[in-house]
Chain A
Amino acid sequence: MADTFLAITPRPAPVKTEGFVPWVRRNLVGDWKSGLTTLFLIALGVVVLQRATPREWGVARAVFAADADACQAARGIGACWGVIAEKWRIIIFGRYPYEQQWRPEVATILMVAALVVSCARWFWKPWLALLWVVVLAIFFTLMGGGVLDLEPVRTDLWGGLPLTVMLATLSIFLAFPLAVLVALGRRSNLPAIRTVCVVYIELIRGVPLISVLFMASFMFPLFMPQGMSIDVLVRVLVGITLFAAAYMAEIVRGGLQAIPKGQLEAAATLGLTYWQTQRKIVLPQALAMVVPSMMNNFISIFKDTSLVTIVSLYELTGALSLALNSDVEWRPFKIEAYLFITAIYFTFCFAMSRYSLWVEMQVGVSRTR
Chain B
Amino acid sequence: MSDAIIEFDKVNKWYGDAFHVLRDIDLMVTRGERIVICGPSGSGKSTLIRCVNALEEYQEGRITVDGVVLTDDVKAVEAVRRKVGMVFQQFNLFPHLTVLENLTLAPMWVAHAPKKEAEERAMQQLERVRISEQAAKFPLQLSGGQQQRVAIARALCLTPKIMLFDEPTSALDPEMIKEVLDVIVELAGQGMTMLCVTHEMGFAKAVADRVIFMDQGQIVEQNSPREFFDNPKSERTREFLAKIIGH
Whether A262 lies near B92 (C-beta < 8 A) is yes
**Contact residue among B55, B94, B139 (Cβ-Cβ distance under 8 Å from A269):** B55
Instruction: Chain B residues near A363: list those with CB within 8 A.
Output: 96
Task: Place the interface of chain B in its size category.
Answer: 20 to 34
Are B96 and A265 interface neighbours, CB within 8 A? Answer: no
Smallest CB separation, B28 vs chain A (Å): 23
Contact A272 B110 (CB under 8 A): yes
Q: Cβ of B110 and Cβ of A367 under 8 Å apart? A: no
Residue A146 interfacial (CB < 8 Å) = no
Which residues of the other chain, A, contact B93 by a CB distance below 8 angstroms? 266
Give chain A's interface secondary structure class. helix
> What separation, in Å, do the CA atoms of A285 and B138 have in the docked complex?
14
Within 8 A of B (CB), among A253-278: 260, 262-263, 265-266, 268-272, 276
Measuring CB to CB, which residues of chain A are less than 8 angstroms from any residue of chain B?
260, 262-263, 265-266, 268-272, 276, 280-281, 284-285, 288, 363, 365-369
Interface presence of B59 (CB below 8 A): no
Given A285-B95, A288-B96: A271 touches B88 (CB 8 Å cut-off): no
Q: How far, in whole Å, are A269 and B152 apart by their CA atoms in the complex?
A: 12
Chain A residue at minimum C-beta to C-beta distance from B53: A269
CA distance A22 to B58 in the complex (A): 64
B90 A262 Cβ-Cβ under 8 A:
yes
Contact of B158 among A270, A367, A368 (CB under 8 A): A270
- List 23 interface pairs A-B (beta carbons < 8 Å), by A numbering: A260-B90, A260-B92, A262-B88, A262-B90, A263-B92, A263-B94, A265-B55, A265-B92, A266-B92, A266-B94, A268-B81, A270-B81, A270-B110, A271-B82, A271-B106, A271-B110, A272-B105, A272-B109, A276-B109, A280-B105, A285-B95, A366-B97, A366-B98
B85 at the interface (CB under 8 A from A): yes
- Distance of A270 Cα from B107 Cα, bound (Å): 9
B65 on the interface (CB 8 Å rule)? no
A369, B140: Cβ atoms closer than 8 Å: yes
- Tell which of B55, B81, B106 has the most Cβ of chain A within 10 Å: B106
B155 touches A365 (CB 8 A): no
A271 touches B92 (CB 8 A): no
CB distance from A365 to the nearest CB of B (A): 7
Residue of B nearest to A367 (CB): B140
Instruction: State the CA gap A269–B154 with chains docked (Å).
Output: 11
Are B85 and A367 interface neighbours, CB within 8 A? Answer: no
Which residue from A284, A288, A366 sits with its C-beta under 8 Å from B138? Answer: A366
Please provide the chain B residues from 34 to 82 with a CB less than 8 Å away from any CB of chain A in the complex: 53, 55, 78, 81-82
Residue-by-residue, is B131-156 near A (CB-CB < 8 Å gives 1, otherwise 0)?
00000001111000000000000110
Least distance between A5 CB and chain B CB atoms (Å): 15
CB distance from A116 to the nearest CB of B (A): 26
Separation of A260 and B92 alpha carbons in the complex (Å):
9
Residues of B within 8 A of A276 (CB): 109-110
Q: How far is the CB of A214 from chain B (nearest CB, A)?
A: 42
Q: Is the CB of B88 within 8 A of A265?
A: yes
Give the nearest-CB partner of B50 in chain A.
Answer: A265
Chain B residues with Cβ below 8 Å from A284 are 96
Is the CB–CB distance between A367 and B90 below 8 Å?
Answer: no
With a cutoff of 8 Å between Cβ atoms, the chain B residues found around residue A281 in the complex are 94
Quick check: B106 and A270 within 8 Å, CB to CB? yes
Shortest distance between the CB of B185 and any CB in chain A (Å) = 22
Cα separation A270 to B141 with both chains bound (whole Å): 23
User: Does B55 contact A271, Cβ atoms closer than 8 Å?
Assistant: no
A52 to chain B, nearest CB (A): 51
Leading 9 A-B pairs by shortest Cβ distance: A266-B92, A270-B106, A262-B92, A366-B138, A271-B110, A269-B86, A271-B81, A284-B96, A366-B96
Contact residues in A for B90 (Cβ distance below 8 Å): 260, 262
Chain B residues whose CB sits within 8 angstroms of the CB of A271 once the complex forms: 78, 81-82, 106, 110, 158
Alpha-carbon distance between A281 and B84 when the two chains are bound, in angstroms = 20
- Smallest CB–CB gap between A36 and chain B, Å? 51
Query: Do residues A266 and B95 form an inter-chain contact, with CB atoms below 8 A?
Result: no
Chain B residue with the shortest CB-CB distance to A264: B92
* Whole-angstrom distance between the Cβ of A25 and the nearest chain B Cβ: 35
Query: CB-nearest residue of chain A relative to B106?
Result: A270
Q: Closest CB-CB distance, B160 to chain A, in whole Å?
A: 10
Chain A residues with CB under 8 A of B88: 262, 265-266
Which of A265, A365, A368 is packed against the most chain B CB atoms within 10 Å? Answer: A265
Residues of B within 8 A of A265 (CB): 55, 88, 92
Chain A residue nearest in CB terms to B109: A276
Which of A263, A270, A285, A368 has the most chain B CB within a 10 Å cutoff?
A270
CB proximity of A33 to chain B, nearest CB, Å = 49
**Chain B residues near A269 (CB-CB < 8 A):** 53, 55, 81, 84-86, 155
Query: B154 contacts which chain A residues (CB < 8 A)?
Result: 270
Specify the chain B residue showing the minimal Cβ separation from A269: B86
Chain A nearest CB, measured from B54 CB (Å) = 8
With a CB–CB cut-off of 8 A, which chain A residues contact B105? 270, 272, 280
Q: Which residue of A lies closest to B88 (CB)?
A: A262
**Besides A266-B88, A271-B106, A285-B96, 18 other A-B contacts (C-beta < 8 A):** A262-B92, A265-B88, A266-B93, A268-B81, A270-B106, A270-B155, A271-B78, A271-B81, A272-B105, A276-B109, A276-B110, A280-B105, A284-B96, A285-B94, A288-B96, A366-B95, A367-B138, A369-B141
